[in-house]
């Protein structure tokens, strides 16, 4: 079915589609960009699907990158941006539940749309044809439904990543998962074990950063949570999930909120299992630790916290405390502001005495230097006015 609607395409996409058409082939914007534009969302990227073979696409454009020739994808460069142009294709048999054993090019757009995962992702658009919608994508888009193209069990069996994509789109768009699609997710859930942990992590991160992070609970309801990494099933604490959307959509914060019922160590193990980058693991772990630490409402304690966590981690920990209903956060923030305003010393680097000064004052090189520094630092955290070179050296001599 062709639906006569006019979509605003970016200039570069019009240019790419126009050049391919001028060379005598078909070309359409397709997939996520059509879906998002119809929803009034800004697409992350624009994909083009075409009847032209990759060699033909390369011959049409001056500047291209061979992104995935065996899958028919060429990236066309225009105005310093890249546009993926993929030849219409039929995916061959899937044996590993993740990658088609082969792909076959086809001159038929409908064959290409049929291989796509969900009806809302299986629409193509060009100014000439309007929206090409063979699977009721427009209707599902209006009704807010995620529905497989074709038989759900077959589609999830072919590619188990789609199990998570269904949940992720539901969370990003606020859509319901259609009944038979949902039933198939439950049935095929064990196949998720075949998907690489990096890809699982990337989908879960998108889900957590979405407008509906609370839908992470669907993992539990569908049985997918048991297939993610050991220990993952234990992290479900639904009471807090409804609050997750109050956290800014930042990767460490949303993950920390999700894992808040775990110890920092357990959270680290889950994230390591998911091949998360070390920087994020560190921030999540520290935020959880900070959130669980009792923080007395007095400046020395707040200074100490400021010395032990980066500003980003401490603020994250405070946001998590708020999520848990702590009434103290506002006061802690106020104390922190005053400490910053007064320029109180909150790190060894800011202390008026350094290791070098102690050596010059005759302290023997060795563990003693660190011990004295730490003692002086404790003193300064308690009495910031004592962050004075002479005063501290005097104190050091007393030790």
Among 159, 178, 268, 322, binds ligand ATP (CB under 6 A): 159
Binding string, residues 7-26; x marks residues near ligand ATP by CB under 6 A: --------------------
Please state whether beta strands 27-30 and 124-126 pair in parallel, antiparallel, or not at all (unpaired): antiparallel
Count CA atoms within 13 Å of residue 32 on its CB side. 11
Per rule CB under 6 A, is residue 344 in the interface with ligand ATP? no
Alpha-carbon Rg of the chain, whole angstroms?
Answer: 28
Per rule CB under 5 A, is residue 290 in the interface with Mg ion? no
Least distance in angstroms from the C-beta of 45 to ligand ATP: 6
Least distance in angstroms from the C-beta of 328 to ligand ATP: 39
Per rule CB under 5 A, is residue 13 in the interface with Mg ion? no
Per rule CB under 6 A, is residue 147 in the interface with ligand ATP? no
List, in order, residues 6 or more apart from 163 with CB less than 8 Å away: 156, 185, 188, 189, 191, 192, 222, 224
CB 330 within 8 Å of CB 356: no
Least distance in angstroms from the C-beta of 43 to Mg ion: 7
Structure tokens belonging to residue 398: 């007393």
Residues recorded for the chain:
399
Q: Which stretch binds Mg ion (CB under 5 A): 43-51, 55-63, 148-156, 162-170?
A: 43-51
Neighbouring CB atoms inside 10 A of 220's CB total 16
CB 148 within 8 Å of CB 120: no
Binding string, residues 33-72; x marks residues near ligand ATP by CB under 6 A: -----------x--x-------------------------
How far is the C-alpha of 176 from the C-alpha of 169, rounded, in Å? 9
Closer of 171 and 376 to Mg ion (Cβ): 171
Per rule CB under 5 A, is residue 32 in the interface with Mg ion? yes
Per rule CB under 5 A, is residue 75 in the interface with Mg ion? no
Question: Measuring CA to CA, which residue among 303, 298, 326, 325 is closest to residue 314?
Answer: 303
Per rule CB under 6 A, is residue 299 in the interface with ligand ATP? no
Structure tokens belonging to residue 242: 């409804």
Among 89, 147, 162, 336, binds ligand ATP (CB under 6 A): 162
Structure tokens belonging to residue 163: 């199990």
Per rule CB under 6 A, is residue 31 in the interface with ligand ATP? yes
| Binding residues for ligand ATP restricted to 110-139, rule: CB under 6 A | 116-117, 121-122
The neighbouring-strand residues paired with 3 are 131
Least distance in angstroms from the C-beta of 17 to ligand ATP: 16
Q: Which stretch binds ligand ATP (CB under 6 A): 4-12, 133-141, 158-166, 222-230?
A: 158-166
Closer of 133 and 289 to ligand ATP (Cβ): 133
Least distance in angstroms from the C-beta of 121 to ligand ATP: 3
Per rule CB under 6 A, is residue 84 in the interface with ligand ATP? no
Least distance in angstroms from the C-beta of 159 to ligand ATP: 5
C-beta pairs of 353-356 under 8 Å, 24+ apart in sequence: 353/389, 353/392, 353/393, 353/396
Per rule CB under 6 A, is residue 97 in the interface with ligand ATP? no
Dihedral-angle region of residue 326 (phi above 0 means left; psi in -120 to 50 means alpha; beta otherwise): beta
58: three-class secondary structure by DSSP: helix
Binding site for Mg ion (CB under 5 A): 32, 45
Binding site for ligand ATP (CB under 6 A): 31-32, 44, 47, 116-117, 121-122, 159, 161-162
């Amino acid at each position: 079915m062709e639906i006569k609607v006019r979509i605003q395409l970016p200039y570069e996409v019009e240019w790419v589609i126009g050049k391919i058409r001028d060379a005598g082939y078909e070309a359409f914007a397709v997939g996520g960009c059509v879906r998002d534009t119809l929803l009034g969302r800004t697409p992350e990227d624009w994909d083009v699907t075409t009847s032209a073979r990759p060699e033909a696409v390369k011959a049409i454009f001056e500047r291209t990158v061979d992104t995935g020739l065996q899958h028919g994808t060429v990236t066309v460069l225009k105005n310093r941006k890249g546009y993926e142009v993929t030849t219409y294709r039929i995916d061959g048999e899937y044996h590993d539940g993740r990658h088609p054993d082969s792909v076959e090019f086809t001159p038929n757009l409908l064959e290409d749309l049929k291989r796509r995962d969900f009806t809302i992702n299986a629409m193509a658009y060009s100014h000439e044809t309007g929206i090409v919608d063979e699977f009721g994508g427009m209707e599902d888009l209006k009704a807010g439904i995620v529905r497989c193209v074709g038989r759900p069990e077959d589609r999830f069996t072919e590619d188990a990543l789609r199990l998570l994509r269904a949940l992720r789109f539901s969370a990003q768009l606020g859509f319901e998962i259609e009944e038979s699609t949902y039933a198939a997710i439950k049935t095929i859930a064990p196949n998720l074990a075949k998907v690489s942990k990096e890809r699982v992590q990337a989908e879960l991160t998108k889900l957590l950063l979405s407008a509906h992070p609370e839908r992470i609970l669907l993992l539990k309801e569908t049985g997918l949570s048991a297939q993610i990494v050991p220990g993952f099933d234990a992290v479900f604490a639904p009471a807090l999930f409804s609050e997750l959307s109050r956290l800014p959509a930042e990767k460490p914060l949303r993950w920390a909120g999700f894992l808040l019922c775990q110890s920092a160590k357990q959270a680290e193990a889950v994230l390591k299992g998911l091949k998360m980058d070390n920087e994020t693991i560190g921030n999540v772990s520290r935020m959880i630790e900070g959130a669980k630490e009792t923080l007395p409402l007095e400046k020395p304690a707040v200074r100490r916290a400021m010395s032990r966590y980066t500003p980003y981690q401490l603020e994250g920990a405070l946001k998590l405390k708020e999520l848990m209903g702590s009434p103290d956060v506002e006061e802690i923030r106020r104390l922190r502001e005053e400490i910053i305003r007064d320029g109180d010393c909150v790190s060894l680097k800011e202390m008026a005495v350094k290791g070098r000064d102690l050596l010059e004052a005759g302290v023997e090189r060795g563990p003693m230097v660190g011990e004295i520094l730490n003692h002086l630092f404790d003193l300064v955290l308690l009495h910031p006015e004592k962050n004075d070179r002479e005063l501290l050296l005097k104190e050091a001599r007393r030790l």
